[in-house]
Structure 1
Amino acid sequence: MPSSVIRKYFYKPELEILRIIYVSGAIYDYLDVPQEVFDEFRAAFSKGTYLNKKIKPFFKYAKVSDA
């Protein structure tokens, strides 16, 4: 199901970085995200909900770019 919030996402397993490109154009890297968490995110029906409940509260992030 397409997300109304997330435009694209990429995962770098060797660095455990999940990059989220939002519909707004903002780009964030979520750090130290294990492969298992990424797999659950990828499989989630609502990626925005999963991101808000299972990733944002638990993983540090870095803003890469503004919209």
Structure 2
Amino acid sequence: MAWQDFAPFTSSNIAAIRYDEDRLLLEIEFHNSTRYHYFEVPPQIAQAFDQAGSKGTFLASTIKGHYRYSRV
């Protein structure tokens, strides 16, 4: 597993985000300590997420409902 952490950011809901390009796996950890894995997320989507000004808005509009997920 080759996790890549996202650049530092501030979010009221999201604590950390990391991505494994080899497995196309996106992991999101929330401030309440829950973690979710999103599967088959293309690298260009992960890169756009990393660069997004609002992580919460990007998550709601581009990730949720578009990719299979599992609570970890």
User: Pairwise CA RMSD of aligned residues?
Assistant: 0.7
The corresponding residue for 1:30 is 38
Unaligned 5+ residue runs, structure 2? 1-8
Overall identity of the aligned pairs, in %: 33
Say whether residues 1:21 and 2:46 are aligned partners.
Answer: no
Unaligned 5+ residue runs, structure 1? none
Matched positions, count: 64
TM-score between both structures, scaled by the size of structure 1? 0.92
Moved over 2 A (4+): none
TM-score between both structures, scaled by the size of structure 2? 0.86
The corresponding residue for 1:54 is 62
* Greater relative contact order (Cα < 8 A, sep 6+): 1
